[in-house]
Amino acid sequence: MGLIVFVFFFLVVLAILAINLVYKKAPYAKDLFMIAGTIVITTLLFLLLILALYFNFSSIIVILSKIFIVGMVFVSFFTLQFTVKMPYFERKKNIPFTVFNSILHLGIAVLAVLFIRGFFWNALSGFKFNSEMIAGIPAADIFLMTILLAMPFFAMLISIYKIFKEKSGIYRQQMIIYFAALFFSAILWGFVYYLSTIFSWAIAITPLGYLLLVFFTSSGFSTSMVYDRKQIAFALLRFLIFILIFAAITGFWASLVLTSIRSFYIQIVLLMIGAAVFFVIRNFVSQKFKWLLGDTSEYAKVIEEKLQHIDYTEGREKVMENFSNILLEHLHTSSLSILIAGENEILEPVYSTLNVTSTFNTNKPVFEFLLNENIQVIMRSQVLTNPDFADVRSDLIGFMNSTYAEILICVREGQKLIGVISVSAKKRKEAYTSYDFDVLKNLYSYFFLVVYYLRNIAKQDIVLILDREIEMSDQIIGSIQKNIDIVEKKSIEVDSVAFSAHQLGGDFTDFIRLSENRYLFLIGDVSGKGLSASMSMVILKSVIHTYLSETPDFKELVVKINSFIKDNLPKGTFLAGLFGIIDFKESTIYYLNCGIPLMSMYIDSYKNVIEIQGEGRVLGFVKNIRPFLKVRKITMNRNDIIVFVTDGLLDSKNLKGDKFGNDRVSRLIAANKTKSASEISNAIYKTFLDYIAHEIEDDITIMTFKHI
């Protein structure tokens, strides 16, 4: 009965793997399903055969045995077909090999059916195939060695030939995994064959070999990126040296204490001391010597630090040179090209170490596909193997060939492609790995920054300027303000003012038109000062537009922006502000407080000013902001006023050291309640300047709504 449970378990798992292949669109899936489906049927026949033996249904044992044998032959046939068709799995048929394969397996099937009587069990010999002798060898043994050892070996030889012939790293990796699956399945079958001569029940493990073959083949051909084999080896070595060895030493110490010391309390003390000592030594050794074993975090950290320190005040050519040198050095790439899309939506090379001169129209379907799928980083191996790219594969590979790209970094602003960074093959002809892909994807914000700078800020070199930051500030602010949707005359007046303490700042406001009467608005303060804060502001503004186009849910939009800040912007970056949707027709505002320090409302019917911001968490501090977000709603009536301000205004001090504070803002709102929104904003700012009586030291933003 135990054998039935074994085989049934393997059957269920194999059936799940086969069903999973039905829903895969990849080219290999259909051919692998032929193998998996046949294996499921064959394993089911094996289960029925064991049940027939268990319940002594002697009348059907022979016929089930022969059908089971034929099933094994079909599995071998489809396996060889799969081997020859990989890695491209083109629909055209290799007729000569198919004919050869059919004749070969037809001969095996005929001989097996004629010379093997069936699968039987008796008390003396247990489970075994009963067969006639061929040249002094049981026909069953010849059949099993042919199907489970010789045919996999033949498939492995074909695989080895294809592996050495193939130039593509991803295809080579897929075939290596397939070769390994064949090798270990054959090893398992050989072990089962040997073990079954001693313990006849071991034959029930045979389906495990098929399971390994299907699982690892499916996993291997599902991959679209090359594994970093060197880093995998380093990781195993680090595990062995820094964990396993010290664990073994600790275990040896524990066994020594437990066998030598009789007192329970002394044992506990010595075990705790020993564990603590070995733990400290292990941490010390791993920190001191992990660099010897290729600590994978160093590459990502170094490249991020260097990208953070690019000086954008040095001008266009120097920025491109510095950026290129960073990627050339740490990615070990052979060349790099940067293409920027102008107002005419034509991608033109602005920098190339290979002198790329071709231009490309971004309105073509291939670029629309990249935008619609929100693809930021894409590798050639993904395009070749991922079925999602089937419709644009030819055009995308053509574009990559034209720019000598192994990796494309696609930079977008909203629904526009504004630039592409083309990364060519590595210098030593090594393949880019999943680690490279992850690093580049995590650094996307820096790539956006460079492309945005080249496209919008540094269209010409900034030369002969005494204060480069001032010049850049004017261009940044002007570029950003152009992207704010203008609010036409509505029932609610809208005004906002922003002043930077150091020319460049992180405070900003935004209005995005959703419909004729509905706008999304934002007031925010990005952490930091000067160039760093301004660049983060630029990135966030673009990201907000991008996410808004694909995220209809207001709360989910803020959740995604929080994740972007946490995962992509430099560490320590956060956004304190407020996201809102204003409906001019209904005179209602829905808002999410994300750390806005003050949101004051003058209610005309009560002739009073109250603070209504509620609690809020700044974005970028916690990974999951969703539990802390609460959408609030307010309705404005005639003459009602709402004022939002950032902390730069509230926390600024006068010469005595007193803060401007919330109460002073509330009194100013009440005192200017009859004035327009812009007059209220300016009155607050003018009073603020008079109060501090010195230059502002922090960025200041004021946003005012007034119902008229």
- The DSSP line for 83-105 is HHHTTT--SS--HHHHHHHHHHH
Homologous superfamily of 299-457: GAF domain (3.30.450.40)
Alpha carbon 222 to chain centroid distance?
16
Around 205, how many Cα atoms within 13 Å sit in the side-chain half-sphere? 16
d(CA 71, CA 79): 12
Using CA atoms, how far residue 466 sits from 314, 462, 463, in Å, is 12, 10, 9
Please say whether the beta carbons of 224 and 385 come within 8 A. yes
pLDDT value, residue 600: 93
Please say whether the beta carbons of 349 and 339 come within 8 A. yes
Say how many Å lie between the first and final Cα of the chain, rounded. 84
Please say whether the beta carbons of 444 and 568 come within 8 A. yes
Looking up tokens 């499916």, which residue turns up? 218
Quick one: tokens of 551?
């995220």
pLDDT value, residue 124: 54
Looking up tokens 């595990």, which residue turns up? 239
Segment-wise mean pLDDT, segments of 10 residues, the chain, 708 residues: 70 90 88 95 89 78 89 95 91 87 94 82 63 83 90 96 89 92 92 78 83 92 77 66 72 76 81 81 73 59 83 80 90 92 88 88 91 89 88 92 93 83 86 85 84 70 39 50 69 86 70 88 77 70 77 87 78 86 93 91 92 85 87 93 92 88 92 94 92 83 93
Alpha helices in 55-168 (DSSP H): 58-85, 95-115, 139-145, 151-165
Q: b or e along 197-219 (b: 16 or more beta carbons within 10 Å of the residue's beta carbon)? A: eeebebbbbbbbbbbbbbebbbe
d(CA 186, CA 61): 27
Greatest Cα pair distance, the chain, in angstroms, is 112
| Of 637, 636, 641, residue with least CA distance to 678 | 641
pLDDT value, residue 457: 64
pLDDT value, residue 643: 95
d(CA 158, CA 400): 31
Quick one: tokens of 62?
């022979």
Could you please state the CATH topology (level 3) that the domain comprising 479-707 is classified under.
Phosphatase 2c; domain 1 (3.60.40)
Please say whether the beta carbons of 313 and 277 come within 8 A. no
Give me the amino acid identity at 420: V
Using CA atoms, how far residue 167 sits from 390, 433, 623, in Å, is 21, 16, 42
pLDDT value, residue 481: 47
Question: What is the chain's Cα-based Rg?
Answer: 35
Query: How is 215-275 classified by DSSP, letter by letter?
Result: HHHHHHHH--SB--HHHHHHHHHHIIIIIIHHHHHHHHHHHHHHHH---HHHHHHHHHHHH
Question: Which contiguous run of DSSP H or E holds residue 351?
Answer: strand 346-352
| Of 567, 484, 574, residue with least CA distance to 528 | 574
SS3 category, 129: strand
pLDDT value, residue 83: 96
**Candidates 1.10.287, 1.10.10, 1.10.1740, 1.20.1070; CATH matching 2-222:** 1.20.1070
Model pTM? 0.61
Residue 575: Cβ-neighbour burial (10 angstroms; 0-12, 13-18, 19+): buried
pLDDT value, residue 239: 66
Phi, psi of 391 (to 5 degrees): -70, -25
pLDDT value, residue 502: 61
pLDDT value, residue 468: 47
| Of 225, 213, 231, residue with least CA distance to 177 | 213
pLDDT value, residue 466: 33
Please say whether the beta carbons of 356 and 490 come within 8 A. no
Please say whether the beta carbons of 17 and 32 come within 8 A. no
- With a CB cutoff of 8 Å and minimum separation 6, the contacts of 468 are 313, 314, 315, 462
Using CA atoms, how far residue 499 sits from 239, 263, 528, 536, 698, in Å, is 54, 74, 15, 17, 9
Phi, psi of 424 (to 5 degrees): -80, -175
| Of 611, 609, 613, 646, residue with least CA distance to 630 | 613
Q: Where are the domains of the chain?
A: 2-222, 229-286, 299-457, 479-707
pLDDT value, residue 699: 83
Please say whether the beta carbons of 578 and 599 come within 8 A. yes
